[in-house]
A and B are shown apart, each in its own frame.
Chain A
């Protein structure tokens, strides 16, 4: 499939984010809200904010991020494929 070799990364366009918080509620380990109520990415354990990204994803995170991207009302969550 070639799917295995691909690396995925995610970014949040913070100019588009309308702060609806859907991603934060669904995946609190991956997304957080900054002090302005704008979504930001979280990395590591315990999760630390890393801003809008891009942030490389583990293979087990891709599905969750894709769902978050689909439900984001501002279409602000982008997934890139790094070849």
Chain B
């Protein structure tokens, strides 16, 4: 396998007419397919590849028929199979698929899929071009714009004016100052639930810590969002429901299996989960309406929120927004914290440094004032998130565009693989090694492009809860290690599982000992 980026200094072979932007090793590499030389006779191409029509995406065929002409030079990329394109290799390992493709095809490449192609970019400059686009020309839902009005619209599905208004309504809740107000509730619930782990401590019993972390964070978030306690049974069900909900979205990218769609008695299914979730949220909303409170929790904030014209959120949008916040809030932290521990626990030196930092709190429950002192904990978490990565963060081009010299037709899917960018050797020497110092060494941080690390995305749709995520991670690491020492089995290594979030496959097998 050739690594085009290594030969950048000597200006790679470019498609005819392609501008050579490669003056330094950190410049985008334009792909290196065989140079296209004018229009090829379709018949001779058909003779060479009888499956050619099945490789054309619907979009390109439609444009050819409605007079836009045949597609111009396409970015290089894997050829894939007839009809299904690269779906099978993508399903097998969406993580390494993108990493290898980037190594082989450069900073912009095309992945053939059924119905549509994906344009994947690898260089942070190209990523910024579509992710930081402020006017909504790159949309998260794309051609499925009708969907939000049917099922309720939450922030990720909105663009433009409506998006800005909605985001402005919610933003104050995620500011650092408001987080300080919910910090005590969260820390209190964390302590209460993590204390219960003592029943496994010192017994040598292997528990799945990934699951146990979810049983800590979910009730804490539900309490911070709704200020009401929810039964153990409901927590278990909501855990299943939110995972199913995210699995449903993940399946839309062909990278994860579809959850059960047909509701049969006695088994979990997507319709059952969605219904149960909507009913739970509606019940909590109605309960609050009948007994209003003054608590500044998420539910009250959303109930009080008004658009610029004074109108409130519609019932459907309110429920959807709450579900999205629940899903985005807890499952992501569970996954990224599990990845952090999966790497951290096998590095005694990094661990020792973390114990020292936590020791300095003197056994007290952490507060927001302690966060600036928990910098190593934050770095451990960031390095965990880097190696966790996400296979794909996509957008839809709502207008024609040009990236890296290639024409991007309207409705193309443009994406970035965070997993692949987070392990790009141009920004991350020895990319597979876990080393939190990459995030504490100012010189290293400054030397990288901002988007070499983007676990929370970038631009207008940047994760609204990133401040919350850091606070939770720092709190959880502190509270855990104030009480326990965790050990992974010898020789165990984490594997990625794509379930919308990138979780640790088969969980985190850990034995606990008391400090």
| Residues in chain A within 8 A of chain B (CB atoms) | 14-20, 22, 25-26, 35-38, 70-71, 73-76
Contact = CB atoms under 8 A, between A and B. Distances in A.
- The majority secondary structure among interface residues of chain A is loop
A58 B232 CA distance: 58
B177 interface: yes
Interface in B339-372: 368-369, 371-372
B176 A18 contact: yes
Interface stretch (B165-173, B189-197, B420-428, B485-493): B165-173
B463 interface: yes
B178 interface: yes
B446 A20 contact: no
Contacts of A19: 176, 467, 470
A37 B464 CA distance: 16
A74 to B, nearest CB: 6
B462 interface: yes
Given A14-B176, A14-B177, A36-B177, 5 more contacts: A15-B172, A18-B174, A19-B467, A20-B462, A36-B176
For the complex of A and B, the 9 pairs showing the least CB-CB separation, nearest first, are: A73-B462, A18-B467, A19-B176, A16-B175, A38-B176, A15-B175, A16-B171, A19-B467, A15-B177
Nearest to B469: A18
14 contacts: A15-B175, A15-B177, A16-B171, A16-B172, A18-B179, A18-B464, A18-B466, A22-B450, A36-B177, A36-B180, A36-B368, A37-B176, A37-B371, A73-B464
Given A18-B466, A75-B167, A75-B171, A25 B176 contact: no
A17 B132 contact: no
A42 B10 CA distance: 43
B450 A17 contact: no
A26 B176 CA distance: 20
A76 to B, nearest CB: 8
A73 B451 CA distance: 13
A70 B135 CA distance: 11
Contact of B463 (A17, A25, A36, A73): A73
A44 B462 CA distance: 31
B445 interface: yes
Contacts of B307: none
A70 B132 contact: yes
Contacts, number: 64
Nearest to A36: B176
B466 A35 contact: no
A38 B177 contact: yes
Contacts of B177: 14-15, 36, 38
Contacts of A16: 171-172, 175
A74 B175 contact: yes
Contacts of A70: 132, 134
A79 to B, nearest CB: 14
Given A20-B467, A22-B450, A74 B372 contact: no
B172 A73 contact: no
A35 B368 CA distance: 10
A22 B132 CA distance: 13
A24 to B, nearest CB: 11
A38 B456 CA distance: 18
Contacts of A15: 172, 175, 177-178
B458 interface: yes
A70 B168 CA distance: 15
B38 to A, nearest CB: 40
B174 A74 contact: yes
B304 to A, nearest CB: 16
Given A18-B176, A36-B180, A36-B368, A71 B458 contact: yes
B175 A18 contact: yes
A22 B180 CA distance: 20
Contacts of A71: 132, 450, 458-459
Contacts of B456: 20, 73
A35 B187 CA distance: 20
A20 B455 CA distance: 12
